[in-house]
């Protein structure tokens, strides 16, 4: 019942914001454009000797009304993706619910589709970037370092502490801790974009934690769980290139060499990211649907708190250290959204007890839900930037 109420509230709030807030901005820009057109028209034609001043108002009106048709079409083209994007939390719940009720609906989504979908998700973010964005971020190493410490210092302790506090079975404790020990998830880049955060910083943090996770994740598991998780370092490195680096470079190249094409794609890029994330969530949940249903409320609440506390801590620690609002939003989302799919893969490959997989699967839903909710909320909160000195 609580989930149903939540869905209705999110639909109501998101729909209102999508169809009121965005059109207001577009209408304002449209009026401004019409004013510019009218002034330009006046400058070009008032000097004409055959022109009568009384014709000015009528002629200008005709000129702007004709020119406004393509602007109206563009307004509709940008408003529909906006509405679909702000409903991201709802789509996440619906796909997860479908996977629980009818897991067979995702039987077609094999491993090759899983990898390809992650690549599409990264490409949809890559086209929003330029090389200058990464050069700018590289001049702010403190933000990347803080993101690393939040990912591998704070989150593992939160996961382990929650498991102990709720007195979860040992296999659930191990799985929850494992989620805290993995790198930041690729879906965080999409949510950062929706939240008007720093996408270049988010991608750099995700890439850095993914590569460093080859060494850090096994060490953390050994320290907290008393066991070593064997990891195929070469395989993870190749996967990182395929899923993260190549799509990002392709997107940046398109942005540089085909800017007109990218300009048309930008309004719908977040929609592709939302669809990709929902498919990934649905497929992973479908594989462990029976175990999730048997897990109980305590595990659900513990996993939800892991992502929620990580997000709150990431935001307020960043603000306390005088990072900008945009950077703080970025680090909050990056900390809240762990790579639950990778944790699920590690649990499946390297733990004999299948119960270790369950927290990672539950985490996929809560990770996407918490991150998407933060992103949609921040999308409609203006950024009052205080640049870090």
Q: Is 119 helix (H, G, I), strand (E, B) or coil?
A: helix
Domain with CATH 1.20.1530.20 in the chain: 110-379
323 in Cβ contact with 145 (< 8 Å): no
- Chain centroid to CA 62: 43
Cβ burial, residue 243 (10 Å; 0-12/13-18/19+): buried
What phi and psi values does residue 204 have, to the nearest 5 degrees? -65, -40
Please list, in sequence order, all residues whose beta carbon lies within 8 angstroms of the beta carbon of residue 4, skipping any fewer than 6 positions away: none
- Chain centroid to CA 366: 13
Start-to-end CA distance of the chain, whole Å, equals 48
pLDDT digits (tens, 9 = 90+) for 122-136: 787 678 778 887 777
203 in Cβ contact with 124 (< 8 Å): no
Q: Is 8 helix (H, G, I), strand (E, B) or coil?
A: helix
The pLDDT assigned to 116 comes to 79
Q: Which two tokens stand for residue 327?
A: 């950077």
Distance CA(137)–CA(198), nearest Å, equals: 9
Nearest to 193 by CA among 326, 311, 14: 326
The model's pTM is 0.68
Placement of tokens 């965005």 in the chain: 22
The pLDDT assigned to 176 comes to 94
The pLDDT assigned to 180 comes to 94
Q: How distant, in Å, are the alpha carbons of 209, 299, 306, 309, 351 from that of 355?
A: 26, 12, 18, 24, 9
What phi and psi values does residue 338 have, to the nearest 5 degrees? -85, 165
pLDDT digits (tens, 9 = 90+) for 194-227: 888 888 888 888 878 877 887 888 888 878 877 6
Distance CA(337)–CA(191), nearest Å, equals: 9
Please list, in sequence order, all residues whose beta carbon lies within 8 angstroms of the beta carbon of residue 22, skipping any fewer than 6 positions away: 78, 79, 82, 83
The pLDDT assigned to 334 comes to 94
Q: Which two tokens stand for residue 31?
A: 């009026």
308 in Cβ contact with 333 (< 8 Å): no
Please list, in sequence order, all residues whose beta carbon lies within 8 angstroms of the beta carbon of residue 72, skipping any fewer than 6 positions away: none
The pLDDT assigned to 231 comes to 55
Q: Where are the alpha helices (DSSP H) in 127-169?
A: 131-138, 141-149, 155-165
Q: What class has domain 110-379? A: mainly alpha
Q: Which residues of the chain have pLDDT under 50?
A: 1-67, 386-389
């Amino acid at each position: 019942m609580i989930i149903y109420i939540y869905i209705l509230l999110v639909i109501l709030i998101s729909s209102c914001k999508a169809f009121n807030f965005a059109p207001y901005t577009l209408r304002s820009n449209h009026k401004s454009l019409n004013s510019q057109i009218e002034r330009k028209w006046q400058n070009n034609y008032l000097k004409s000797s055959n022109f009568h001043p009384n014709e000015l108002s009528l002629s200008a009106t005709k000129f702007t009304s004709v020119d406004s048709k393509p602007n109206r079409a563009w307004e509709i083209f940008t408003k529909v993706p906006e509405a679909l994007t702000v409903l991201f939390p709802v789509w996440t719940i619906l796909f997860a619910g479908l996977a629980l009720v009818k897991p067979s609906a995702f039987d077609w989504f094999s491993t090759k589709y899983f990898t390809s979908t992650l690549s599409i998700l990264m490409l949809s973010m890559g086209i929003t970037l330029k090389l200058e964005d990464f050069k700018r971020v590289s001049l702010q190493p403190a933000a990347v370092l803080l993101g690393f410490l939040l990912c591998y210092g704070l989150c593992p302790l939160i996961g382990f502490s929650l498991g102990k506090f709720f007195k979860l079975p040992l296999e659930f404790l191990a799985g929850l801790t494992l989620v805290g020990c993995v790198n930041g998830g690729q879906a965080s880049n999409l949510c950062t974009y929706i939240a008007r955060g720093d996408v270049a910083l988010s991608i750099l943090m995700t890439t850095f934690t993914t590569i460093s996770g080859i060494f850090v994740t096994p060490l953390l598991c050994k320290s907290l769980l008393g066991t070593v998780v064997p990891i195929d370092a070469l395989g993870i490195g190749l996967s990182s290139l395929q899923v993260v680096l190549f799509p990002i470079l392709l997107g940046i190249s398109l942005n540089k060499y085909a800017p007109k094409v990218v300009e048309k794609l930008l309004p719908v890029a977040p929609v592709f990211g939302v669809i990709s994330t929902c498919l990934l969530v649905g497929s992973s949940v479908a594989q462990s649907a029976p175990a999730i249903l048997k897990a109980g409320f305590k595990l659900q609440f513990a996993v939800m708190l892991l992502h929620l506390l990580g997000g709150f801590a990431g935001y307020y620690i960043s603000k306390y250290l005088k990072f900008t609002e945009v950077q703080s939003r970025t680090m909050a989302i990056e900390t809240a959204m762990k790579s639950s799919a990778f944790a699920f893969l590690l649990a499946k490959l390297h733990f004999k007890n299948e119960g270790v997989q369950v927290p990672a699967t539950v985490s996929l839903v809560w990770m996407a839900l918490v991150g998407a909710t933060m992103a949609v909320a921040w999308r409609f909160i203006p950024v009052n930037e205080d640049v870090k000195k």
